Chains A and B, each alone.
Chain A
Amino acid sequence: MATQHSRSAARLMMAPAVVLLLGWMLVPLSMTLWFSFRKFLPLRGGDQGFVGFDNYVRFISSSSFWPAVQTTLVIVLGVLIITIVFGVLLAMLLDQPIWGQGIVRILIIAPFFVMPTVSALVWKNIFMDPVNGLLAHLWRAFGADPVVWLTDVPVYSIVMILSWQWLPFATLILLTAIQSLDGEQLEASEMDGAGFLSRFIYIILPHLSRAITIVILIQTIFLLSIFAEIFVTTGGAFGTRTLTYLIFQRVLESQNVGLGSAGGVYAIILANIVAIFLMRIVGKNLDA
């Protein structure tokens, strides 16, 4: 397979992809790093020179930083818990023999294909609107006062919207994993006298652990950078400003590029910590 000739052909064919991605990574990254050490306000005096770690300190010590971290954590953890718990349950349900399995699968996977701006808008208006929203109708039907979702419980509302979007992803991956579980293993454990609960704890859950880890890592990376859902629903108001949104506001809304870039570097570091774990798993899989 590998002769001199084929190796040099391979290098040549790989070059365009490598060069493009290298450029895409290095150019903006070095610019962000550069800006993060400068006082740079495009609309108020432009580039005002080198300020050392000033932006980094200011970003962390700003009054919006810790609330943003908290919001980010609540959203990421909330969605992860909901999607994984329900994802495991749904995957186990769908793994059972049922009539019309294909159609149920399609119904459950559908939200994943809905574009983020659509799902945010539909939830915000048609479901969560305190006057005309469907949930308000439902509350009134039971004689309760409608909840003003995006004002009173804005973070939880966003968690709910995101969970709806990401549950299909978790379910689909966990279902794929569960289907690869060897049926004989379960039967053997049944012969050994294991009840449903112990089968779940000792056989199914360990088998799913890898898939669950992957779901956690991938969702974390995506959830850390969610944007459209907040942009459309609250615009960052009512304590729904995540780290990503805070940086976006610093850069584009208040045009403080230096400060925003410092925030960007933090975000990159954070994402990389998660990414390293994901890479380990994926890399291990490569050898197999």
Chain B
Amino acid sequence: MGRIVLEKVKKSFSEVTVIPPLDLEIEDGEFVVFVGPSGCGKSTLLRLIAGLEDVTDGTIRIDGNDATSIPPAKRGLAMVFQSYALYPHMSVRKNIAFPLKMAKMDQAEINRRVENAASVLNLTDYLDRRPGQLSGGQRQRVAIGRAIVREPAAFLFDEPLSNLDAALRVGMRMEISELHKKLDTTMIYVTHDQVEAMTMADKIVVLRAGNIEQVGSPLELYREPRNLFVAGFIGSPKMNLIEGAEAAKHGAHTIGIRPEHIDVVEAAGEGVWSGVVGVSEHLGSDTFFHIHETGLAETITVRADGEVSLKHGDTIHLKPRADVIHRFDAEGLRQS
């Protein structure tokens, strides 16, 4: 079981409030991702849940029990750190067994669980090596192994993939998602990478300056960002944001349109934007054009088919799809 509820949780470091009072419910078995730019308080929030930092005010409940002042060791949570935090002087086997040894479990059971975790994570051949002799991906797996043997109520991941190279990151992303399906345990995952958040989460919590900007499934956030910040943060490349006369036409202060929701058309006409092609990024399947001199915004980004061939300096005509234009008011909030 791993239902975690935060009630009016607040954190200040001396005078500075990092997290103003905040409420959040995480259901048992959910994969929740905290995402936001660096310094938004997402790691602090995770550490509060872990018990590595004291809560300044408010209550943390784990499975209905008040865990606010319980030390980290007794909360029944496991954590995977950004640096993996493996014990360098212990073999992989001893690393994975450490939490069980601390729990005074008997040796036969420890062995059984370690072997089991190792086979799940493909670490059986490496059990007697030291962490220093492993690759980044293997270390990551050891850290996960150390977490799963305890059969915790919930897993906490603190940017676990940020030290891996791009190719490995995609692989590990799948593995962690896979693991979640298999274990069906609550996972709380912190990242600054919205792609990780979108691909892995059941529920995304977007944070900025300690405030929750929006909570929802990846598609909810994509389809209906509650404000300009979420609109700009979720989705890649970023949503185009247009102010002024064009926005006023739609009865909004700002309108947003995603690059994938703009079509390239042959000729100018009613509701068609024209501009000059700047940099184009050819990804093969898609091409992203950065368009200037549209009179709407500094740059408009457009996704086109990979085969569209336009050169730097060419004139281009764009037609936004009317049904997916997001409208925001002067405060940056979504207008329904």
Q: Do chains A and B touch in the complex (CB under 8 A)?
A: yes
State the A residues within 8 Å of B (CB): 1-5
Say if the beta carbon of B306 comes within 8 Å of chain A.
Answer: no
- Nearest CB on A from B45, distance (A): 16
- Nearest CB on B from A81, distance (A): 45
- Nearest CB on B from A4, distance (A): 6
Q: How far is the CA of A2 from the CA of B47 in the complex (A)?
A: 11
Return the chain A residue nearest B55 by Cβ. Answer: A3
Say if the beta carbon of B53 comes within 8 Å of chain A.
Answer: yes
Say if the beta carbon of B52 comes within 8 Å of chain A.
Answer: yes
Q: How far is the CA of A5 from the CA of B51 in the complex (A)?
A: 11
A-B contact list, 11 entries, CB within 8 Å:
A1-B52, A1-B53, A2-B53, A2-B54, A3-B51, A3-B52, A3-B53, A3-B54, A3-B71, A4-B54, A5-B71
Residue from A1, A2, A3, A5 with most neighbouring chain B CB atoms (10 Å) = A3
Chain A contacts for B52, CB-based, 8 A: 1, 3
Chain B contacts for A4, CB-based, 8 A: 54
Chain A contacts for B51, CB-based, 8 A: 3
State the B residues within 8 Å of A (CB): 51-54, 71
- Nearest CB on A from B235, distance (A): 35
8 extra interchain contacts, Cβ-Cβ under 8 A, other than A1-B52, A3-B54? A1-B53, A2-B53, A2-B54, A3-B51, A3-B52, A3-B53, A3-B71, A4-B54
Return the chain A residue nearest B54 by Cβ. Answer: A3
Return the chain A residue nearest B47 by Cβ. Answer: A1
Chain A contacts for B53, CB-based, 8 A: 1-3
Chain A contact residues, majority secondary structure: loop
- Nearest CB on A from B254, distance (A): 41
Q: How far is the CA of A5 from the CA of B71 in the complex (A)?
A: 9
The 8 tightest CB contacts between A and B, nearest first, are: A3-B54, A4-B54, A1-B52, A3-B53, A5-B71, A2-B53, A3-B52, A3-B51
Q: How far is the CA of A2 from the CA of B52 in the complex (A)?
A: 7
Return the chain B residue nearest A1 by Cβ. Answer: B52
- Nearest CB on B from A189, distance (A): 32
- Nearest CB on A from B52, distance (A): 6
Q: How far is the CA of A76 from the CA of B51 in the complex (A)?
A: 55
Chain A contacts for B54, CB-based, 8 A: 2-4
Chain B contacts for A2, CB-based, 8 A: 53-54
- Nearest CB on B from A135, distance (A): 53
- Nearest CB on B from A2, distance (A): 7
Q: How far is the CA of A3 from the CA of B53 in the complex (A)?
A: 5
Q: How far is the CA of A2 from the CA of B71 in the complex (A)?
A: 12
Q: How far is the CA of A1 from the CA of B13 in the complex (A)?
A: 13
Q: How far is the CA of A3 from the CA of B71 in the complex (A)?
A: 9
- Nearest CB on B from A7, distance (A): 9
Return the chain A residue nearest B51 by Cβ. Answer: A3
- Nearest CB on B from A226, distance (A): 42
Q: How far is the CA of A4 from the CA of B52 in the complex (A)?
A: 10
Return the chain B residue nearest A2 by Cβ. Answer: B53
- Nearest CB on B from A130, distance (A): 59
Q: How far is the CA of A3 from the CA of B54 in the complex (A)?
A: 5
Chain B contacts for A3, CB-based, 8 A: 51-54, 71
Q: How far is the CA of A199 from the CA of B51 in the complex (A)?
A: 53
Chain B contacts for A5, CB-based, 8 A: 71
Q: How far is the CA of A94 from the CA of B51 in the complex (A)?
A: 51
Q: How far is the CA of A146 from the CA of B22 in the complex (A)?
A: 87
- Nearest CB on B from A3, distance (A): 5
Chain A contacts for B71, CB-based, 8 A: 3, 5
Q: How far is the CA of A1 from the CA of B44 in the complex (A)?
A: 11
Return the chain B residue nearest A7 by Cβ. Answer: B54
- Nearest CB on B from A202, distance (A): 37
Q: How far is the CA of A1 from the CA of B71 in the complex (A)?
A: 11
Return the chain A residue nearest B52 by Cβ. Answer: A1
Q: How far is the CA of A1 from the CA of B48 in the complex (A)?
A: 10
- Nearest CB on B from A10, distance (A): 14
Q: How far is the CA of A4 from the CA of B54 in the complex (A)?
A: 7
